[in-house]
Amino acid sequence: MLILASGSPRRRELLTQAGLDFSVEVADIDETAQPGEAPAKYVQRLAVEKAQAIWLRHKDGDDADFESGSDSELTVLGADTTVVCDGVMLGKPVDQADARRMLEMLSGRTHQVLTGVAAITRAATVSEVEITQVFFDLIEERELVTYLASGEPMDKAGAYGIQGYAARWIPRIEGCYFNVVGLPLARTLAVILRAGEGPSDALPPL
C-alpha cells in the first residue's frame, strides 16, 4: 500500500506514468523555512515531515492493514520542490505580481530546481535530494504578459512549468527532467525500495 502525501497533480501523473498503484492523502504541515536553513535541507525536511504526518495518521488510527502487518505493508511517500536562484528560494507565487517578480529574476539566467523525496515504511525512513540545473533564455515582455495572463504560473514553484508554455525559454537542463516537473522518478523509486529494505544508513524508523 503506497500513499502519496502530496496534492500535486504533476506528482500523481508521474507516479502513474511509472506504473505505480497508490492513493493520495494531502499532508497539512507548516512549510515555513527555518532561519538560515539551506534549500536542500529545507526540501528534505519538508518531504520527511509530509510523509511522517500521513504515516502517523495511519499508525495512530485504526488501519487494519497497518495493525495486521500484512503483505500490504504501508509506504508513505513525501516530496517537496523549490526553485533556487542566487541562493534565494522561490516557492509558488502568491499573486500575479509575485509571479512576474520570479520570472524576471529567472530570465536569462541559470537556476536550480531541488526536490526532497522521503519514503517511510515499518523498516526505515529514507530521504534524498535531487538537484537539476535549468538554463533560461531572456523572456520578452510580450511573452511574459501572455504567460501571466494564462494563469499557468500560479501553482508552480518558481512560477513556471517546464512541461508547459515556459518550455520555449528553456534551451537545456543538466540533470533529471522529471525533477523539474515535480518528482525525480528514478530517485523516488530507489528511495521507496531502500525504505522497504531498511538500509543501515537510513534514518531511524518511527
- The set of catalytic residues is 80
Q: Are 168 and 102 in contact (CB under 8 A)?
A: no
Count of residues in the chain: 206
- CA atoms of 176 and 164, how far apart (whole Å): 17
Local structure of 72: helix, strand or coil = coil
Q: Residue 158 corresponds to which cell in the numbers above?
A: 518558481
116 φ, ψ to 5°? Answer: -90, 135
132 forms beta bridges with 113
Q: How far apart are the first and last CA of the chain?
A: 18
Which of 134, 132, 135 lies closest to 179, judged by CA?
A: 132
Output the nine-digit C-alpha cell for 203: 534514518
